[in-house]
Amino acid sequence: MSEKKQPGVWEGFKAFLMRGNVIDLAVAVVIGAAFTNIVNSVVKGIINPLVGAIGTQNLDSYSSCLKGPCTGTGATATGIRMMWGSVLGATLSFVITAAVVYFLMVLPMSKFLARQAARQKAKEGTQEIIEVSELEVLKEIRDALLAQRGSGNSQN
C-alpha cells in the first residue's frame, strides 16, 4: 500500500493565505487604518473647533467632580473626577465614522445590489414568459394537428 503524503506546514500556510477572505480582511484592515486618520482629522479640524466655540477645543478636559474637592491635574489631582469629555470625543468619532461608512459605502452598495437583483428578476421573468408562450404555441400546434387528424378520419 502506498501512503498518502500529508500536506506540509508550508503548503497549508500558502493555502491559508491564498484564500480570498484572508486577502479581503487584510485589505479591510489597511483601509480601516487609513480611514481612522481621516476621521481623526475631521474631529480635530472641524468638530473640536465647533465645540471650542462653546467651550474648549480639547474635549478631554471636560470633566465633573464626583467627590471633592477636585483640584489640580495629572499626578497632583485630588478628588474623584468623571472625564466625560473623552467619552464625548470618542462618541463623536464613532458617530462620524459610522455615518461616513453608511452614506459613502453601505447605502450606495445596497442600492447597487438592489438594482442588480431587480434586473436579474426581470430577466428571469422574461425567460419564464418566453417559455410559457412557447409551451402555449406548441399546445396550439398539437391541438391543430389533432383537429386535422380528427377531421381527416371523419371524412374517410
Mind listing the pLDDT tens digit for each residue in 83-105? 888 888 788 778 877 887 788 77
Contacts of 49 (CB under 8 A, 6+ apart): 57
Query: Per-residue pLDDT tens for 38-50?
Result: 877 877 787 777 7
Name the phi and psi angles at 129, rounded to 5.
Answer: -65, -45
pTM passes above 0.85: no
Backbone angles phi, psi at 100, to 5 degrees: -65, -45
pLDDT exceeds cutoff 80 at 73: no
| Structural Rg of the chain based on CA atoms | 35
Q: Please choose, from the candidates 92, 94, 98, the residue with its C-alpha nearest in 3D space to the C-alpha of residue 51.
A: 92
